């Protein structure tokens, strides 16, 4: 194999990084927008690094015991969905100190004006931004560090993370410019597929989220087949039958959402789903969607429950993943300290 060419876009080998917060149980949104894509990228043979970002989770209050539990459950979901810890690196963020260390450097690169534009901060901080944690504000710099600690070049995420990835690119560019180096790659967001933004089952204009107070608004990866079917049956819709064309879903957010979910689960395009169900009533479409969701999700739930029987094994997998992650991140961090002018003369034992 020849040496990679030294230009900004080709100097870096393809490497994927992505993360999910263990701040609650995972939802169908996480599965279709993120997890399912993560597995596809792994299976395409690209080097893949996946992380349960526990340090991001504590930017809002987390009960310590629940956080531990949810981190294990998240890991179990990754594995149950098809992540193979031998082929992908799977770990939790706090076990690799490079994330926090690089985040500090990036706190000094990113500008307040950039942070002030982040819509997720505004959403999460709500009306009383004064009471939000400083960590919630700095969250995107930690996310940039997650990615850049590995010189990752591609990041599969759902639509809601687009702005954070633009900020990640800005941080990489500013770091390279400030220090006159070509050190960090400018990452490419991978926001792909029919379900990059799965919406609430109660309100098709709101994102499906693990933090929504209504459990009816989402499908959790821990839901039983009966719960999944009942939630889909009760999902908000309008009185019209499904249209003949995708264009006909415009201004019908609830219908559009269910069609997108069907497409995401079945690997059909939205066009194909519309063609299949053109003119159908929801009385026909919803049971078909419920059957599909149950068929796709229950094997994952069953496997998750089995894996959760052995938490020590999950911890072992996360620890082994963290060691592999550290092997990549540590030399990159040392170079960053060197570039920024830090003396590194301490012996490491």
Q: At what angle do helices 282-308 and 311-340 cross, to 10 degrees?
A: 90
Active-site residue, selected from the candidate residues 11, 66, 124, 236: 124
**Element (DSSP H or E) covering residue 48:** strand 47-52
Pairwise CA distance, residues 36 & 3, whole Å: 32
Among 148, 208, 249, 293, binds ligand AMP (CB under 6 A): 208
Q: Is 75 in the site for ligand TRP (CB under 6 A)?
A: no
> Pick from ligand AMP, ligand TRP, none: which does 70 bind, CB < 5 to 8 A by kind?
none
Q: Is 124 a catalytic residue?
A: yes
Question: Could you say which of ligand AMP, ligand TRP, none residue 33 binds, taking C-beta under 5 to 8 angstroms by partner kind?
Answer: ligand AMP
Tell which positions 247-306 bind ligand AMP, by CB under 6 A: none
- For helices 282-308 and 253-266, what crossing angle results, to 10°? 50
One residue of 15, 19, 36, 102 binding ligand TRP per CB under 6 A: 19
Closest CA to 102 of 349, 333, 338: 333
DSSP label at 220?
Answer: B
Q: How far is CA 191 from the centre of its chain?
A: 11
Which of ligand AMP, ligand TRP, none interacts with 198 (beta carbon under 5 to 8 A by kind)?
ligand AMP
Find the catalytic residue in 36, 122, 206, 210: 210
Distance CA 78, CA 35 (A): 7
Interface with ligand AMP includes 92 (CB under 6 A)?
A: no
Copy the structure tokens of residue 297: 């999700």
Residue closer to ligand AMP (CB basis): 31 or 175:
31
C-beta of 287: minimal distance to ligand TRP in Å?
32
Instruction: Write phi, then psi, for 316 (nearest 5 degrees).
Output: -65, -45
Smallest gap from Cβ 163 to ligand TRP, in A, equals 10
- Give the span between the Cα atoms of 42 and 48, in whole angstroms: 6
111 neighbors 59 (Cβ within 8 angstroms): no
How many residues does this entry show for the chain? 349
Which residue, 60 or 115, has its beta carbon nearer to ligand AMP?
A: 60
Out of 143, 148, 289, 290, the residue judged to bind ligand TRP by CB under 6 A? 143
**Contact status: 34 vs ligand AMP (CB under 6 A):** yes
CB of residue 77 vs ligand AMP: minimum separation in angstroms?
A: 11
Task: Find the shortest distance in angstroms from Cβ 346 to ligand AMP.
Answer: 35
Out of 102, 143, 198, 261, point to the residue binding ligand AMP (CB under 6 A): 198
- In the complex with ligand TRP, the residue whose CB is nearer, 167 or 255, is 167
Using DSSP, state whether 189 is helix, strand or coil.
Answer: strand
The H or E element containing residue 146 is helix 134-148
Q: Which residues are part of the catalytic machinery?
A: 124, 207, 210
């Amino acid at each position: 194999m020849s040496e990679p060419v030294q230009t900004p876009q080709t100097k870096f080998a393809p490497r994927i990084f992505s993360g999910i917060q263990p701040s609650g149980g995972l939802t169908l949104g996480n599965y279709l927008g993120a997890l399912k894509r993560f597995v596809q990228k792994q299976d395409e043979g690209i080097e893949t690094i996946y992380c349960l970002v526990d340090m991001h989770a504590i930017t809002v209050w987390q009960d310590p015991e629940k956080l531990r539990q949810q981190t294990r459950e998240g890991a179990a979901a990754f594995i149950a969905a098809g992540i193979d810890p031998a082929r992908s690196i799977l770990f939790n963020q706090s076990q690799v100190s490079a994330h926090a260390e690089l985040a500090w450097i990036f706190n000094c690169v990113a500008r307040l004006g950039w942070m002030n534009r982040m819509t997720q901060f505004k959403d999460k901080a709500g009306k009383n931004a004064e009471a939000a944690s400083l960590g919630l504000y700095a969250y995107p710099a930690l996310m940039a560090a997650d990615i850049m600690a590995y010189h990752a070049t591609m990041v599969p995420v759902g639509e809601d993370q687009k702005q954070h990835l633009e900020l990640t690119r800005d941080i990489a560019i500013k770091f390279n410019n400030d220090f006159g180096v070509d050190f960090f790659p400018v990452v490419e967001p991978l926001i792909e597929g029919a379900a990059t933004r799965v919406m609430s089952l109660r309100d098709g204009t709101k994102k499906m989220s693990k933090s929504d107070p209504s459990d009816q608004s989402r499908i959790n990866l821990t839901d039983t087949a009966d719960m999944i079917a009942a939630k889909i049956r009760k999902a908000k819709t309008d009185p019209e039958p499904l249209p003949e064309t995708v264009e006909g879903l415009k201004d019908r957010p609830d219908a559009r959402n269910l069609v997108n979910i069907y497409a995401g689960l079945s690997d059909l395009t939205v066009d194909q789903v519309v063609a299949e169900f053109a003119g159908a009533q929801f009385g026909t479409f919803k049971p078909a969607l419920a059957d599909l969701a149950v068929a796709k999700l229950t094997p994952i739930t069953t496997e998750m429950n089995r894996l959760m029987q052995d938490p020590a094994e999950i911890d072992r997998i996360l620890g082994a993943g963290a060691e592999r992650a550290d092997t990549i991140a540590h030399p990159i961090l040392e170079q960053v300290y060197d570039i920024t002018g830090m003396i590194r003369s301490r012996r490491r034992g």
